[in-house]
Homo-oligomer: A and B are copies of this chain.
Amino acid sequence: MKRGFGSDNHSGTHPQILEALTRVQQDHEPSYGTDAYSETALQIFKEHFGPKAEVFFVFNGTAANVLCLKSLTKSYHSVLCSDVSHINVDECASPENLAHCKLWPLPTSDGKLKLEQLQSAIIRRGDQHFSQMKVISLTQPTEYGTVYQLQELKAIITWAHKEGMKVHIDGARLCNAAVHLNISLQELITDLGVDALSFGGTKNGLAFGEAVVVFDPSLKEDIKYYRKQLGQLPSKSRMLAAQFSAYLTNDLWKKIASHSLNMAQLLLQEASKIPQVKITQATESNVVFAIIPKSWVKALREEHFFYVWDEKTTECRWMTTWDTRPEDIMNFTRKMKELADETSSRPLS
Q: Chain A interface (Cβ within 8 Å of chain B)?
A: 1-4, 6-7, 9-13, 15, 18, 21-22, 24-32, 35-36, 58-63, 66, 74-76, 78, 89-94, 96-98, 100-102, 128-132, 202-203, 207-208, 222, 224-236, 238-239, 305, 323
Contact A2 B28 (CB under 8 A): yes
Q: What CA separation (Å) do A113 and B39 show in the bound complex?
A: 40
- 13 more A-B contacts (CB under 8 A) besides A92-B128, A98-B98? A1-B29, A6-B30, A12-B27, A59-B59, A59-B232, A60-B232, A62-B231, A66-B231, A74-B222, A97-B100, A98-B230, A203-B235, A230-B230
Residues of B within 8 A of A231 (CB): 58-60, 62-63, 66, 91, 94, 98, 230-232
Contact B76 A229 (CB under 8 A): yes
Contact A208 B236 (CB under 8 A): yes
Report which of B28, B94, B98, B305 forms a contact with A11, defined as CB distance below 8 A: B28
Q: What CA separation (Å) do A228 and B35 show in the bound complex?
A: 29
Contact A29 B13 (CB under 8 A): no
Q: What CA separation (Å) do A89 and B63 show in the bound complex?
A: 22
Contact A235 B202 (CB under 8 A): yes
Report which of B11, B25, B62, B102 forms a contact with A93, defined as CB distance below 8 A: B102
Copies of this chain, whole number:
4
Residues of B within 8 A of A2 (CB): 27-28
Report which of B6, B233, B238 forms a contact with A128, defined as CB distance below 8 A: B233
Give the distance to chain B from A59, nearest Cβ to Cβ, in Å.
4
Question: Can you spell out 30 A-B residue pairs with CB atoms less than 8 angstroms apart?
Answer: A1-B27, A1-B28, A2-B27, A2-B28, A4-B28, A6-B28, A32-B128, A59-B59, A59-B60, A59-B234, A61-B235, A62-B233, A63-B231, A66-B231, A75-B229, A76-B93, A76-B228, A89-B129, A90-B129, A91-B129, A92-B131, A93-B101, A94-B229, A94-B231, A96-B100, A100-B100, A202-B235, A208-B236, A230-B230, A230-B231
Q: What CA separation (Å) do A323 and B26 show in the bound complex?
A: 9
Q: What CA separation (Å) do A291 and B61 show in the bound complex?
A: 44
Contact A229 B98 (CB under 8 A): yes
Q: What CA separation (Å) do A10 and B33 show in the bound complex?
A: 11
Contact A92 B228 (CB under 8 A): yes
Contact B28 A3 (CB under 8 A): yes
| A25-B18, A74-B222 known; A62 vs B228 contact (CB < 8 Å) | yes
Give the distance to chain B from A56, nearest Cβ to Cβ, in Å.
11
Give the distance to chain B from A26, nearest Cβ to Cβ, in Å.
6
Beta-carbon nearest neighbor of A229 in chain B: B92
Contact A1 B22 (CB under 8 A): no
| A102-B96, A230-B231 known; A1 vs B30 contact (CB < 8 Å) | yes
